[in-house]
Amino acid sequence: MDIAFALIGLLLTWPLFVFIALGVTAQDGGAAIFRQQRIGREGRMFDCLKFRSMRVGAEQALPSASDPEWQAMRKLTHDPRVTSLGRLLRRSSLDELPQLINVLRGEMSLVGPRPIVIDEAGRYGRRLADYCAVRPGLTGLWQVSGRNAVPYPRRVAMDVWFVRNRTVGIYLAILARTVPAVLSRRGVS
């Protein structure tokens, strides 16, 4: 099911994909696609793909580890590293379109827990085994339930609930809720 939906998604969005890639590259000359190591199924690392939304070299200018907002959410509401096009891509979730390629590669599912970086693994504690039991998803229960408005511990609980209770019906229900959630932009910072 993932492969079929991802192929359809890529076929429908390829003109947008090209347009965004050209826009990101034109903005500052950097690569259009950002790759970041994330934890996948069975704890295997993979390159999670996104359209680059930050300035070239932004990874070296990570926020201070003492910033309370960074500590709580692993995001900043007004991140100075994000470009103007990047803000638009993030608000619309279009920065995540390249993850359809991750789905085709078998590294991600359309629905599952949000892919996390190694630094976030500690927040899952003993529940990391649940997270690693499935492929991370392009969308999931957290994304359709408020995204950044949901505190991180609640996000972990949602990921674990999904893993332990997943069915085709829940998968399809989350997929159906994704477009309205993206359009409403609830929880998007």
Return the pLDDT at 186: 65
Domain residue ranges in the chain: 2-184
The β-bridge partners of 50 are 34
Query: In this predicted model, what pLDDT tens digit does every residue of 110-150 receive, in sequence order?
Result: 999 999 999 999 988 999 999 999 999 999 999 898 777 88
Query: In this predicted model, what pLDDT tens digit does every residue of 9-33 receive, in sequence order?
Result: 999 999 999 999 999 999 888 999 9
Phi, psi of 48 (to 5 degrees): -80, 130
> Taking a C-beta distance cutoff of 8 angstroms, is the pair 112, 155 a contact?
no
Return the pLDDT at 73: 53
Return the pLDDT at 67: 61
Return the pLDDT at 147: 74
Q: What is the DSSP letter of 96?
A: G
Return the pLDDT at 165: 97
The β-bridge partners of 38 are 46
Return the pLDDT at 179: 85
pTM: 0.85
The β-bridge partners of 46 are 38
Tokens 């638009």, residue? 88
Distance of alpha carbon 175 from alpha carbon 111, whole angstroms: 7
